[in-house]
């Protein structure tokens, strides 16, 4: 883990457990660095404006301002493990890193008793992977950001005929099919909707331009698409 990732991870951990404290020794052990390194990291975060305060004393440590923390969560062990299974199955999909970060926050904000029960239950759940299975291509972070912020992508794309072309694409949605993840987008070169297989994108650049707001229902792709199953948050 590089320093930037470690600084982010420290903030996320303190946010999740606040108002509880984490000592420098605990943070050092978690991130595999020295106590002195953690102290320097905390100082750098404080100087950059992150509201971390130190509670001195025998049981002292570091904490994040309460307004940036999660309240206690009454998740059951089964609920937490269900989320962990979903996150594990989503590995390589869009927002996989965000899912792992969310799960860490949830576990840190649960009661110690429920967290311990969830960890014990997780030991009794296994995901079997076939040795012949081909790992899916992870969704590039530029594509994730484009979908979130509706920013235009500039890509080099290898089509089914093996022809490489440069495209500018307004992102509409991410679709998952038998051959992996696709980006449904409005191709500005062809001036029509297209499906772009992520493993055929040979170069990806996230531009600052915001694309038009389009829906899956009104943006029918040129290539055939099977029935689209919605992702529900309710």
What's the rounded Cα separation, in Å, for the pair 167 and 184?
13
- Give the residue-averaged pLDDT of 67-71: 64
| Count of CB atoms situated within 10 Å of the CB of 172 | 24
What's the rounded Cα separation, in Å, for the pair 5 and 100?
14
- Give the residue-averaged pLDDT of 8-36: 87
Whether pTM exceeds 0.85: no
What's the rounded Cα separation, in Å, for the pair 78 and 14?
25
What's residue 91's pLDDT? 80
Of residues 44, 51, 49, the one with CA closest to residue 19:
51
What's the rounded Cα separation, in Å, for the pair 27 and 29?
5
What's residue 134's pLDDT? 64
Residues 92-138 have pLDDT tens digits of 788 888 888 888 878 877 887 888 899 999 999 988 776 666 666 78
Residue 126 falls within a domain, yes or no?
Answer: yes
Whether residue 221 has pLDDT greater than 80 = no
Residue 22 falls within a domain, yes or no?
Answer: yes
What's the rounded Cα separation, in Å, for the pair 187 and 196?
9
Residue 226 falls within a domain, yes or no?
Answer: no
Residues 52-63 have pLDDT tens digits of 988 876 677 998
What's residue 68's pLDDT? 63
Residues 56 and 78 in one domain: no
- Give the residue-averaged pLDDT of 153-158: 96
Residues 44 and 17 in one domain: yes
Q: Which of 66-80, 118-132, 183-197, 211-225 has the weakest average pLDDT?
A: 211-225
What's residue 5's pLDDT? 79
| Count of CB atoms situated within 10 Å of the CB of 201 | 20
Position 166 confidence tier, pLDDT thresholds 50, 70, 90: very high
What's the rounded Cα separation, in Å, for the pair 101 and 182?
24
What's the rounded Cα separation, in Å, for the pair 196 and 137?
13
Counted domains in the chain: 3
What's the rounded Cα separation, in Å, for the pair 229 and 121?
30
Q: Which domain holds residue 81?
A: 70-135
CATH code for the domain of 152: 2.30.30
What's residue 82's pLDDT? 93
What's residue 19's pLDDT? 76
More confident residue, 58 or 35: 35
More confident residue, 68 or 148: 148
| Count of CB atoms situated within 10 Å of the CB of 174 | 20
What's the rounded Cα separation, in Å, for the pair 170 and 183?
10
Q: What is the mean pLDDT of the chain?
A: 85
Residues 58 and 19 in one domain: yes
Of residues 124, 137, 130, the one with CA closest to residue 96:
137
What's the rounded Cα separation, in Å, for the pair 214 and 191?
13
What's residue 18's pLDDT? 75
Contact 54, 19 (CB under 8 A): no
Share of the chain above pLDDT 70, in %: 86
Residues 82 and 56 in one domain: no
What's the rounded Cα separation, in Å, for the pair 67 and 59?
23
Q: Which run of H or of E encompasses 106?
A: helix 96-109
Residue 222 falls within a domain, yes or no?
Answer: no
Residues 23 and 74 in one domain: no
Position 225 confidence tier, pLDDT thresholds 50, 70, 90: low
Last residue of a domain, one of 135, 152, 175: 135
């Amino acid at each position: 883990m590089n320093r930037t990732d470690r600084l982010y991870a420290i903030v996320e951990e303190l946010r999740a457990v606040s108002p509880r404290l984490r000592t420098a020794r605990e943070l050092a052990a978690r991130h595999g660095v020295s106590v002195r390194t953690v102290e320097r990291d905390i100082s750098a975060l404080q100087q950059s404006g992150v509201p971390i305060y130190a509670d001195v004393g025998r049981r002292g440590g570091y904490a994040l301002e309460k307004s940036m923390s999660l309240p206690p969560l009454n998740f059951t062990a089964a609920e937490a493990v269900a989320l962990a299974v979903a996150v594990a199955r989503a590995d390589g999909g869009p927002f996989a890193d965000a899912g792992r970060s969310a799960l860490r926050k949830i576990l840190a904000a649960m009661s110690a008793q429920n967290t311990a029960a969830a960890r014990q239950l997780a030991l009794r759940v296994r995901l079997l992977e076939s040795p012949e299975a081909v790992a899916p291509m992870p969704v590039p972070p530029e594509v994730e950001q484009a979908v979130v912020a509706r920013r235009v992508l500039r890509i080099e794309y290898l089509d089914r005929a093996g022809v490489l072309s440069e495209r500018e694409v307004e992102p509409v949605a991410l679709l998952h099919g038998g051959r992996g993840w696709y980006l449904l987008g409005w191709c500005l070169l062809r001036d029509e909707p297209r499906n772009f297989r992520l493993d055929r994108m040979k170069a990806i650049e996230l531009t600052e331009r915001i694309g038009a707001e389009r829906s899956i229902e009104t943006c029918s792709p040129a290539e055939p698409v099977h029935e689209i199953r919605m992702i529900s948050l309710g």
